């Protein structure tokens, strides 16, 4: 599996994961669960890259349960991070299209992509091998969205 797109971001990724660990120390249960889920998903990417894991394994380990629980319980995503994503939050050119988005919009897009990847797996007998979708692009886009959300949340850590 080729995850070269992740190679350049492995150092900053460790910092983001460490930050999310600290940020998860909150009394708001949904905020805590969302931040932990984001941290855990970024760890899946980091460890998947380090161990040359398959896309199937990575997709199988990604979680969107906290997001779906937060939506069911009418969680106000402004508690995760207020405001809109601005160019100052964006470190990767491919994420510029998310300028002006809220944390909720980006989290919703992440949830949608995890669900889509799982459905593609199910439609293909439990594997993304040989599917017509560009799985490498879909997975890398998902990773960069998660990284953007983590960076956006990080900007208020003062």
- pLDDT tens, per residue, the chain with 158 residues: 455 655 555 566 677 777 676 766 667 888 889 999 999 999 999 999 889 999 999 999 999 999 999 999 999 999 999 999 999 889 889 999 999 999 999 999 999 999 999 999 999 999 999 999 999 999 999 999 999 999 998 875 43
Please give the residue range of the domain that contains residue 107. 4-154
Q: Report how many domains make up the chain.
A: 1
Check if the beta carbon of residue 103 is closer than 8 Å to that of residue 152: yes
| Exposed/middle/buried for residue 141 (C-beta within 10 Å: 0-12, 13-18, 19+) | middle
Q: What is the pTM of this model?
A: 0.84
Output b/e per residue, 20-56; b: 16+ Cβ within 10 A: beebbeeeeebbebbbbbbbbbbbbbbebbeeebebb
């Amino acid at each position: 599996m080729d995850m070269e797109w992740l190679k350049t971001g492995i150092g900053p990724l460790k910092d983001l994961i460490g930050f999310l660990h600290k940020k998860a120390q909150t009394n708001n249960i949904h905020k805590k669960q969302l931040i932990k889920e984001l941290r855990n998903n970024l760890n899946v990417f980091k460890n998947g890259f380090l161990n040359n894991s398959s896309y199937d394994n990575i997709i199988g380990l990604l979680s969107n349960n906290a997001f779906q629980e937060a939506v069911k319980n009418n969680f106000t995503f402004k508690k995760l991070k207020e405001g809109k994503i601005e160019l100052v939050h964006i470190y990767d050119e491919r994420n510029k299209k998310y300028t002006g988005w809220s944390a909720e919009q980006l989290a919703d897009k992440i949830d949608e992509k995890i669900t889509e990847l799982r459905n593609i797996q199910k439609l293909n007998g439990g594997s993304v091998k040989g599917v017509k979708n560009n799985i490498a692009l879909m997975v890398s886009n998902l990773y960069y969205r998660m990284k953007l959300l983590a960076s956006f949340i990080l900007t208020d850590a003062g």
